[in-house]
Structure 1
Amino acid sequence: MQDTSAQSAAPEPARPLPRKAARLAVNRAALTHKVRYAIRHPDRITPYLRRTARDGWLRLKHRGDHVAYYRAVMAADTERDPRAAVGSRSHDRWLALGQMQFDYLIEHGLRPEHRMLDIGCGNLRAGWRFIEHLEPGHYYGIDISPDILISAKETLTAYGLQGRLPHLTLTGDLKLDFLPAGHFDVVHAHSVFSHSPVEVIDECLANVGRVLAPDGFFDFTFDRTEGREHHVLREDFYYRTETLVTLARGHGLTARFMEDWEKLPHGQSKLRVTRE
C-alpha cells in the first residue's frame, strides 16, 4: 500500500517548529543539563537516582545484551503501572496517545483489509484500536517484554476483541525471520527506537524490507536531536535524522521525514520507510 500523500523522494532535512528548536539542541546526558534540570525540578531528583541505581545493576547483570537489559526495565516499570511503562502518565493520556497514532495512520490510508505489524506493541495503547479496525487476524503485535504482553492480553479482554483474532508474540530480536515475506502493508513502531541503541535499529532496518508488501511502508518514531547524539541511562536514545536515513539507505530503503506528524502534540519525530 503506497502512501499517496507525497511521492517518495530524497528526504528533506527536518525543519523544527520554533518551540522545538531549543529542545532539539539539548544534550540530556551532559552534566550541566542534569544540574539545571535538577534545580528546576527538585521533585524528580529521587526518582532519577533510583533509575540510575537500577541502570547500574542491570548493566552489570546483562552485560552487552540490550534486549535483556530493557526487558528487565519493562518488567520493573510494568509491575508499578503498565500504562506508565509505555509512557503514559494517566489513563486519559494513554487513550489520547493511542488515538493519535490510530488517527494518523487512518489519514494515511490504513484500511481494514490491510495487514499490520506493530513492533513494540506494548499493552495495546494504540493496538486495540488497530485490532478493532482491521479484519480478523490482520493485526500482528510483537514485543520483547512478556510482562507487557500479559497486560496487552488484559487490554484485549477489557475491550472484548478476542474475536478479532490478533497475533501477540514475544520476540528476542528484530530479525523478523519468523514472519512471512512481503506480507505486511503497514509496519509500525511507536516509541521503540527511542529506547534502542543504533545496532538494534540497524537490525530492524536490515530485515523489515523483506516482510513489507511491495507498496507497503514502515513508520517509526524516534527522539530527535540536532546536536550530539546521546543516550540517558541506556533507556532513552537521541538520534539525528540523517543518521537514521543513512542506515535505511544502506539496506535499500528510502526514509522520508514526516512533517505532518511534527504538528501533533507529542515529543517524538517520525520517519516513513519504503522499499526502493
Structure 2
Amino acid sequence: MASKNRASLTHKVRYAARNPRRVPPYARRLARDAWLRMKTRDHVGYYRAVMRSDASRTPFGAVGTPSEKRWLALGELQFDYLVKHGLKPGDRMLEIGCGNLRAGRLFIDHLDAGNYYGIDISPDILFAAEDTLVRYDLQDKLPHLTPVRDLQLEFLPAAHFNVVHAHSVFSHSPLDVIDECFANIGRVLAPGGFFDFTFNRTEGKEHQVLREDFYYRTETLVTLAAKHKLDATFMEDWEANDHKQSKIRVTA
C-alpha cells in the first residue's frame, strides 16, 4: 500500500534530494512519456506505446520486473495464490494483461490443453510471450494469445471462464478503463467464476504518476464494481505476500 502521494511536489523534491542519481532517468522518462501522449489518442494507445518502448529494451522490464530472478518469483507468487484458492486443471482461465507470461507459463502448464486464454494491449509483449512458450516447451498446451484494442471483450464467449486474472493491469489504468472492464467482465464469467485483480492501494488522496501508475482507495473500486452489479471483496490473505499491490476479487 502506498503511504505517500508520489504525485505531490513535496514528495518529488524530497525523493530527488535523497536519490540524485535517479533524477536524470526520471527526466528522460518524463520527456518520453510526454512525447508518447502527444502521439496517441487515448490511454490504451499511450500505454501500448509505453510497452513498445520498454519491450524494445527488455521484456522483463516492460512487465515491471528488471531481473529474471524477480520475474520468476512474481510469477510463482501469482500461481501459488490461485492454486491455493482452488485453480484446477479443468478450469478455463482468462488472463488480462498476460504480458510475456510471467505467471502465464505456470498457468498454462497447470491447466488442461486449450484452457488458457491470454490477452494484452501490446503486440510487442505478446511476441515475447511466444518466446516464453518455446523456452518452457509449452506448445502442446495450445494456449491462446491475442492482442486487444480495449477491454470490451466482445470477441470472447459468454459465461465461459471460471477464473479471470489481471495482475498489475489496473495499477496502470485510469478509472474509465477499469469501468470498461467491469462493464464487460460479468458476461464472460462462468457461473461461480471469479475475477481477481491487483491495484495500487492508497488510504490517502488518489493520484497518478506519469499517467503510468495509478493509486486508488479500495472503496472507489468496490463502488465502481457495484455499479455493474458485481460483488467485490478485498483479499486480506494476499496482504501477507511480499508484494506492494493489493488484490480484490469480483464475482457476478
TM-score, length of structure 1 as denominator length: 0.90
Question: Does 1:122 find its partner at 2:122?
Answer: no
Identical amino acids, percent of aligned pairs: 70
Any idea what the Cα deviations from partners look like across 1:109-156, whole Å, max 9, x if unmatched? Answer: 000000000000000000000000000000000000010000000000
| Residues 1-276 of structure 1 aligned to structure 2 (within 5 Å) | 24-63=2-41, 65-275=42-252
Q: Secondary structure at 1:29's aligned position in 2?
A: coil
Q: Deviations over 1:57-111 (max 9, x none)?
A: 1111114x11110000000000111001101121110000000000000000000
Gaps of 5+ in 2: none
Instruction: Tell me which amino acid in the other structure corresponds to 1:176.
Output: L
Task: Report the CA distance between 1:210 and its aligned residue.
Answer: 0.4
Cα distance in 2, alignment partners of residues 233 and 271 from structure 1: 24
CA distance in 1, matches of 2:19, 2:188: 44
**Equivalent position amino acid for 1:25 in 2:** S
Shift of 1:56: 1.1
Q: Secondary structure at the match of 1:191?
A: coil
Distance (Å, rounded) in 2 between the aligned partners of 1:25 and 1:162: 43
Residue 164 of structure 1, CA deviation: 0.1
- Tell which deviates more after alignment, 96-105 or 86-95: 86-95
| TM-score using structure 2 length | 0.99
AA aligned opposite 2:250: V
Once superposed, what is the RMSD of the aligned Cα atoms?
0.7
Q: Distance in 2 between matches of 1:176 and 1:227?
A: 32
Which residue number in structure 2 is paired with residue 12 of structure 1? none
SS in 2 for 1:182: coil
Please tell me the residue identity of whatever aligns with 1:163: D
Give secondary structure in 1 for the equivalent of 2:98: coil
State the SS of the aligned residue for 2:196. Answer: strand
Moved more, 84-93 or 163-172: 84-93
Q: Which amino acid aligns with 2:7?
A: A
Q: Deviations over 1:45-64 (max 9, x none)?
A: 1111011101111111114x
Once residues 216 and 55 of structure 2 are traced to their aligned partners in structure 1, the CA distance between those partners, rounded to angstroms, is: 26
Q: Which runs of 5+ in 1 are unaligned?
A: 1-19
Secondary structure in 2 aligned to 1:226? coil
Which stretch shifts more, 194-203 or 25-34?
Answer: 25-34
For 2:40 and 2:162, how far apart are their aligned partners in 1? Answer: 35
Matches of 1:101 and 1:257 in 2, distance apart?
A: 16
Per-residue deviation, 1:25 = 3.2
Any idea what SS the aligned residue of 2:23 has?
A: helix
Separation in structure 2 between the aligned mates of residue 259 and residue 47 of structure 1, nearest angstrom: 35
Distance, in Å, in 1 between the alignment partners of 2:130 and 2:246 is 28
| 1:206 aligned partner, one-letter code | A
Structure 2 counterpart of 1:5: none
> Partner letter of residue 16 of structure 2?
A
**Regions of 4+ moved over 3 Å:** none
